[in-house]
Amino acid sequence: RMRGMLARRRFRPLVMHRTYLSKVATKIQATARVWLAKRRSARLREGRFVNAAVNIQRVYRGYRDRQYVSALRAEKLRYEWMMKCVLIIQSGMRMALAYKEFKRRRYRRFSTCISLIKQQVKVFLVRSELHRHKLAVRPLQAEFTLNPDPKSQAIVPWTWKMWTTPQVFAPRPTRTGGAPTMYSNIFSRMGPQGYKEMAATRIQSRARVMIARKTMKMYTEIMDDFFMEVFVRLHEEVEVRQKHAVRIQKIWRGKNIRTNNVMGARKEEQLNEQLPTIRLAQAYVRRFFAQEWLQAAMDKAELREKATKIQANWRGWLARRHVERLREEALWPMKGWFEYTATGREMVHLEVRFLPNPGFDDYQYFVQNGSYDELQWDMDDVDDVIARVLRDHPVEPTPPVSLKTSPQVSAAASRRESRAPSRLESASDVPSRRGSALSGISSPERSSKESHRGEEQTPSRAASRRASAGATNRSPQEEPLATEDPASRRLSKASMVSTGSKARGGRPAPLP
């Protein structure tokens, strides 16, 4: 009991200091966790801000890039249109210059021809005037010449020709359009060969008509192709201009619509028309989302309740196991641990340490592992304590009950002496019944502790023997204490034991 008190007095400050350190460390850990959580939330908040800024920058850069690309596309279209206009202007200028150069070259080429034609015209006019003068002098001329007809040439190789002019019938002929100015054979249509000439003339006329028709057809086809090409190009130009006009009108109408917000007004009007339907659909959607949220909340609450119940059962099971382990550890008088370090291939350095258990419950240990011998031993210790107290503090004598007390006192002393070895033997047997908590203590240590305990208790027993032996030499005032009967002595021992048990915590001491 005293060793337990001393051990508790020694290790209680350590345990309390350890508890204090654990409490302070818990507060520090809680503060550190709060600080870490705040820093994590600040990082997350900063990350959200950064992501929001990045999204805003991304959208703005996209807007600027689209604006830039639209401007580049517009500039490209404008540049292409300008290049097309430049090409048209250049082609027109080149065409004008080429046409001017063509006229100049044609004029240079035709200038000599014009001079020659003028000269020949003058010669032709002079010759015509000379021929007219000849015809005026000799209007009729006869000619004897070969027959040009090869069929009749063998029969009539020679023939006569009479050449005349129209002036024969007109004394003063005047030049008229289509009037002949050459001699004409008067006898050319006379004779059997006249019909052949007429047929030839008819054939020639028909041939000329056919040639003229073919030529006219060719000219007509050429003109048709030319006009068709002109019309096609004109139609393409009209289509291009119409397309550009439609594009310009579209752009202007779009700008006008955007300026006057016509589409916005139409959308607003349609929205106002569809507003009841939209509100009904929104109400259905809100109800659907509310039902979905309620169902999810109910499922989550049910899951949380089940999880809480499972956690409570699990924590209860863990707590019960922990309590069982603590109760088991409370029965260990000492705690020990070992540590080993490898010093070789097959060698280790082992360190073993044993300390008293700060939470040791001696009462429960006694209830579980105690014996009647130990109880008798404790009762003898109580007797010794009572004897010392009575010796140090004598009380008033009581009436004598019996004068023959010396044999009883001697018998009690002899009984104590004979019982002392059995106590030592029972004390040496106690560690074998103290469970697995002392399994790590070696037998030499146990024997040394028990011997030390026996040595500590031996003086008290010697003092009690000396007190009992000296009872015969005491004064008459002290003699009644030694002559008490054993019944009163046992009652006083029981009262002292009950008082000591109450002082130890109110637990009644078990009696044999």
Q: Are residues 8 and 47 in the same domain?
A: yes
Higher pLDDT pick, 463 / 402:
402
In three-state secondary structure terms, 349 is strand
- Which pLDDT band holds residue 4 (cuts at 50, 70, 90)? confident
**DSSP symbols for 143-175:** EEEE---TTTTTT--EEEEEEE-GGGT-SS---
Distant-in-sequence, close-in-space partners of 7: CB < 8 Å, separation ≥ 6: 356, 358, 360
Q: Are residues 16 and 69 in the same domain?
A: yes
Q: Cα–Cα distances in Å, from 130 out to 25, 126, 135, 184?
A: 151, 6, 9, 18
**Segment holding 314, helix H or strand E:** helix 275-330
Over residues 283-304, the pLDDT tens digits come to: 999 999 999 999 999 999 999 9
Higher pLDDT pick, 135 / 468:
135
pLDDT score at 397? 58
Domain count of the fold of the chain: 3
Q: Are residues 373 and 466 in the same domain?
A: yes
Can you give the residue range of the structural domain that contains 152? Answer: 138-188
CA distance 208 to 202: 10
Q: Are residues 144 and 8 in the same domain?
A: no
Higher pLDDT pick, 502 / 145:
145
Query: Does any domain span residue 451?
Result: yes
- Average pLDDT value for residue range 256-278: 86
E strands along 165-266, which residues?
A: 184-185
CA distance 350 to 343: 10
Extract the tokens encoding 337: 């641990």
What does pTM read for this prediction? Answer: 0.25
Q: Are residues 64 and 176 in the same domain?
A: no
Query: Does any domain span residue 319?
Result: no
Nearest to 59 by CA among 51, 47, 71, 49: 51
- Average pLDDT value for residue range 148-166: 72
Nearest to 166 by CA among 181, 187, 186: 181
* Phi, psi (deg, nearest 5) at residue 335: -125, 140
**Of 188, 206, 222, which residue constitutes the final position of a domain?**
188
Higher pLDDT pick, 288 / 426:
288
Q: Are residues 125 and 156 in the same domain?
A: no
- Which pLDDT band holds residue 404 (cuts at 50, 70, 90)? very low
Higher pLDDT pick, 58 / 476:
58
Q: Does residue 457 carry a pLDDT above 60?
A: no
Q: What is the DSSP letter of 404?
A: -
Residue with tokens 């005349």: 164
Q: Are residues 32 and 153 in the same domain?
A: no
Q: Are residues 125 and 171 in the same domain?
A: no
Percent residues over pLDDT 70 in the chain? 68
Question: Would you tell me the crossing angle of helices 372-392 and 443-469 to the nearest 10 degrees?
Answer: 40
Q: Are residues 362 and 498 in the same domain?
A: yes
Q: Are residues 387 and 460 in the same domain?
A: yes
Q: What is the DSSP letter of 405?
A: -
**Of 98, 117, 134, which residue constitutes the final position of a domain?**
134
**Segment holding 397, helix H or strand E:** none
**How far out from the chain centre does Cα 48 lie?**
13
**Of 118, 134, 150, which residue constitutes the final position of a domain?**
134
* Phi, psi (deg, nearest 5) at residue 132: -65, -40
- Which pLDDT band holds residue 438 (cuts at 50, 70, 90)? very low
Q: Cα–Cα distances in Å, from 234 out to 84, 228, 229, 241?
A: 17, 9, 8, 10
Query: Does any domain span residue 323?
Result: no
Over residues 61-112, the pLDDT tens digits come to: 999 999 999 999 999 999 999 999 999 999 999 999 999 999 888 888 888 8
Over residues 306-347, the pLDDT tens digits come to: 999 999 999 999 999 999 999 888 888 888 888 888 888 888
Q: Are residues 355 and 499 in the same domain?
A: yes
Over residues 179-195, the pLDDT tens digits come to: 455 667 666 666 555 55
Over residues 366-382, the pLDDT tens digits come to: 888 877 776 677 677 88
> Which of 150-159, 187-196, 214-223, 410-419 is the least confident region?
410-419
Query: Does any domain span residue 182?
Result: yes
Higher pLDDT pick, 295 / 174:
295
Query: Does any domain span residue 433?
Result: yes
Nearest to 446 by CA among 457, 426, 423, 430: 430
pLDDT score at 447? 40
- Average pLDDT value for residue range 48-58: 92
Query: 373, exposed or middle or buried, with CB in 10 Å at 0-12, 13-18, 19+?
Result: middle
- Which pLDDT band holds residue 56 (cuts at 50, 70, 90)? very high
pLDDT score at 495? 44
Q: Are residues 104 and 121 in the same domain?
A: yes
**Segment holding 461, helix H or strand E:** helix 443-469
Q: Does residue 265 carry a pLDDT above 80?
A: yes
- Which pLDDT band holds residue 136 (cuts at 50, 70, 90)? confident
Angle at 19 between CA 16 and CA 22, to 5 degrees: 150
pLDDT score at 41? 92
